[in-house]
Copies of this chain bind each other. A is one copy, B any other.
Amino acid sequence: MKYLFRNDYSYGAHPKVLSALAQSSMEGNVGYGDDPYCQRAADLIRDMCQCPRADVQFLIGGTQTNFTAIAAFLRPWEGVIAADSSHINGHEVGAVEATGHKILQIAAGNDGKIAPEQIAPILERHKDTHLVKPRLVEIADATESGMVYTKAELTALSEYCRANGLLLFVDGARLGAAMTSPANDLTMADLARLTDAFYIGGTKNGALMGEALVIVNEDLQPDFFRIKKQLGAVLAKGWLLGVQFEALFQDGLYFEMARHANAMAARLQAGLKAKGWKLWVESPTNQVFAVVPDSIKPRIDAVCAYEDWCPAEEPGHTVIRFVSCFQTGKEDVDGLLSALPEL
C-alpha cells in the first residue's frame, strides 16, 4: 500500500463534521442557506474575525468562490492583479476570464507572494485608458507554494491598495494552514481589518466541501446572493455548509486540524532534509516541495502518491509536492520517510 501525500482533499470530512451532517439530515431545513446552521456559523466567523458587519456567504468550492467573488466585485472593464503562479491564473480553466476579466500577472518568485512595488508599474502603465483598469489585487494565503504573508507584508499591501483604489481579496483555500503556521503572525481579525474580502477554505481542511466567503467591505455586499445563485454557487440544501462550518469553528476544530497537518508536513520536510533532499521552498505549512532528479521518480512513485509540480531549473530534475492533511498520521510520515531513498 502506498502513502497518500497527493493533496489535502483526498479524504472526506473529519468524523465530527460527518456526524453533524448525519444528525441534521432528517430535521427538515429551509433551503438555500436560510437556515439556523448557516446563521450560527456566520456568527461564529464574524465573532472570530471581530467584524460584526461582515457578510459571510457559504459557497461550494474554491474555483467557484474565486470567480464568483471577483465577478461580483468588478465592473466589466476592470482587471485583477495576481501572481502568475496564482491558482486563478492557472488551474481554474480561465474562470476569471470567462466572467470577462483580464488577469494582470505579476512574475512572482517561488514563494508565490506579491508586493506593492510589483503592483506599482502596472498601475502606472494602466493609466492609459486603452488598457483594462486594475481594480482588485488577489493573493492567496497560504500561497500556492505553501508560503504565508506576514502581518508586515499584508499591512503594506493593504495600505497600498487603499491608497490606490484597489480592492484586496484573499484566496484562503488553505487559510487554516496559513493561520496556524509558525511563520504566521496574523490573526483572523487582522485579516478582516486589512482586506476587502477573503475566504476560509473548508474543502482542504476537513470538510466534505465548502468555502466561507467573508465580505468585509460593505460596498461589496449588496445583492451577493443573486450572483451566487446565477453562477451556480448556491447549494439547494444550503444548511449542509452551515452545519460543517459550525462544526469546524465552534470548538476550534478547524485550526486544530490545520495545525496538525502543518506539523506533519514539518516533520516530513525535516526528514527529507535529513535524507539529503533539496527543497524548492522552505514551507511553513502543509505543502512540502522538493527538487528531485527524474531518475529516482520511479522509486518515489512506488511508495507514495504525490504530485509533479513543475520542471526544476536544473535539467533532468522536477519539483514535486507532498501534502499533508488532518488525516495524515505520524506513522504515515515516518513510514514514507523510511521508504524514500537518500539523495
Contact = CB atoms under 8 A, between A and B. Distances in A.
A226 B10 contact: no
Q: When A and B form their complex, which 5 residue pairs have the shortest distance between CB atoms, in order from nearest?
A: A12-B25, A64-B232, A94-B102, A93-B230, A77-B226
Given A63-B234, A102-B94, A232-B231, A129 B21 contact: no
B237 A203 contact: yes
Interface in A63-110: 63-64, 67-68, 71-72, 75-77, 79, 90-95, 97-103, 105
Interface in A116-133: 128-133
Contacts of A114: none
Contacts of A60: 60, 232, 235
23 contacts: A12-B24, A12-B25, A12-B237, A18-B25, A32-B130, A61-B235, A61-B236, A63-B232, A63-B234, A68-B232, A77-B230, A79-B94, A90-B131, A91-B128, A92-B230, A93-B226, A94-B101, A94-B131, A95-B229, A95-B230, A97-B100, A99-B100, A208-B237
Interface of A: 4, 6-7, 9-13, 15, 18, 21-22, 24-32, 60-64, 67-68, 71-72, 75-77, 79, 90-95, 97-103, 105, 128-133, 203-204, 208-209, 223, 225-227, 229-237, 240, 327
